[in-house]
Structure 1
């Protein structure tokens, strides 16, 4: 199989099991790891100053993306919060406000805007890129549930509670699977305990790809491996997008981006792969 081919997957119809859900407890470790790894992460590719809009996950707000945005600012980007309070789903006016925010940043900087979305925030980023392809430079999603069954997530009940939606319109959900017409990267983890990993696998095209990392769902936006991958994707010169090359890294970076297909004893024992 080609190195960059999408993993062979079938549609996910159920949420991650109890083992993966229990592994979400490592999220606090990922925050500590991110802080401890900041010196190393300073070796991540530098940015060119273009604006990046960061979207939080379900039930979360801008406070949860502070570490990511601070990291991106240190790498040379102009990182911005979404400024829409808690993400409780597509309530009236939110999508319009996000579109206006993108246009504002495009006008202020005179450059295309990159979008980074965590979980449900990745769905927002994906859809906004479809609405404003001429204003978007790159889309990066982390554990975003844009495929499979809308109920293939352990956050489904939470979504119903905070959004007020009892069911998701089938046609609207099907439209989410359409890949944006701009360079798009989906970062996912097979050990995601909230969203079935199959729901986060992008259909690969000349402008879309998948990067697999070892991370929890709750801690993905704090995970050093994911942060490095985000920086790598955003650092590409505009108009010269190329796929992420895991094999190009050496030394400690090789360990950081170890082959996720190589099962460890823990993966085997708990059936994570």
Structure 2
């Protein structure tokens, strides 16, 4: 398993086009895939914050879900303190019913670990280009991650087996065009997710590209 090619990584610079298409498409998609009032907690990727998931959350709200940002500022990596705050955040948004958790990239790793700890509060997990399987260094972000966090990517400061499937329905959205994370790492092996769904988008487009937005809505409507 290797990180995507340099050419694929450079192609991620097309992300503004995906964002522009998503701004046009999200209302139409929301009408086409109505939701059921379920809370949906959306977690951003590494060094991203809630601003990067605005299009996705607006669409979820328009579709009839109750979306929540993670409310923790910029995602600066995995720590026990942040995991504890996320568990409290989840408790706050699931007073009426369990939530779906949608996590982009590193946010998806958090989503899976949260669901392992409090499965009674999680209705399903949806990961967007999250490197939970195989070589944790099969991506173009791990060196920056280690510089920012001060710990090795294979020596996380929490108890975690990333490839272990949470005990709730778990859906892995992945893309063959991902220029940051190896597609195999976010697709996973048999038993590491309940379903792996291919999406035609770039890594940075997972929260804004119309193809990814549609895939999230479709997965949220799947019977489990």
- Give 1:134 shift: 1.1
Please give the residue correspondences for 1:245-260 in structure 2 after superposition, counting only pairs within 5 Å. none
Q: How big is each residue's C-alpha offset from its partner over 1:103-154, in whole Å with a ceiling of 9 and x where there is no partner?
A: 12111xx111110000000000011011111111011110001112111110
Q: What secondary structure does 1:150 align onto?
A: coil
2:180 match: 194
Q: How big is each residue's C-alpha offset from its partner over 1:182-214, in whole Å with a ceiling of 9 and x where there is no partner?
A: 111111101111011111113445971011011
Please give the residue correspondences for 1:156-171 in structure 2 after superposition, counting only pairs within 5 Å. 156-169=142-155
1:19 match: 7
159-168 or 207-216, larger mean C-alpha shift: 159-168
Residues in 2 aligned to 1:170 and 1:122: alpha-carbon distance in whole angstroms: 15
Residues in 1 aligned to 2:167 and 2:151: alpha-carbon distance in whole angstroms: 29
C-alpha contact (below 8 Å) 2:26/2:213 kept by paired residues: no
C-alpha contact (below 8 Å) 1:204/1:210 kept by paired residues: no
2:118 match: 132
2:135 match: 149
Please give the residue correspondences for 1:196-235 in structure 2 after superposition, counting only pairs within 5 Å. 196-205=182-191, 208-235=194-221
C-alpha contact (below 8 Å) 1:202/1:209 kept by paired residues: no
User: Which structure 1 segments of 5+ residues have no match?
Assistant: 1-11, 242-273
Please give the residue correspondences for 1:1-273 in structure 2 after superposition, counting only pairs within 5 Å. 12=1, 14-107=2-95, 110-169=96-155, 175-205=161-191, 208-236=194-222, 240-241=223-224
Residues in 1 aligned to 2:32 and 2:144: alpha-carbon distance in whole angstroms: 35
Q: How big is each residue's C-alpha offset from its partner over 1:13-50, in whole Å with a ceiling of 9 and x where there is no partner?
A: x3111111121012111001111223531343211111
Q: RMSD in angstroms over aligned alpha carbons?
A: 2.0
Using structure 1 for the length normalisation, give the TM-score: 0.77
- The total of aligned residue pairs comes to 224
Q: What secondary structure does 2:165 align onto?
A: coil
1:154–1:206 CA distance, 2 compared to 1 (3 A): closer
Residues in 1 aligned to 2:90 and 2:153: alpha-carbon distance in whole angstroms: 29
172-181 or 28-37, larger mean C-alpha shift: 172-181
Residues in 2 aligned to 1:174 and 1:51: alpha-carbon distance in whole angstroms: 25
C-alpha contact (below 8 Å) 1:125/1:139 kept by paired residues: yes
User: Which structure 2 segments of 5+ residues have no match?
Assistant: none
C-alpha contact (below 8 Å) 1:202/1:208 kept by paired residues: no
Q: What secondary structure does 1:139 align onto?
A: strand
Residues in 2 aligned to 1:202 and 1:92: alpha-carbon distance in whole angstroms: 25
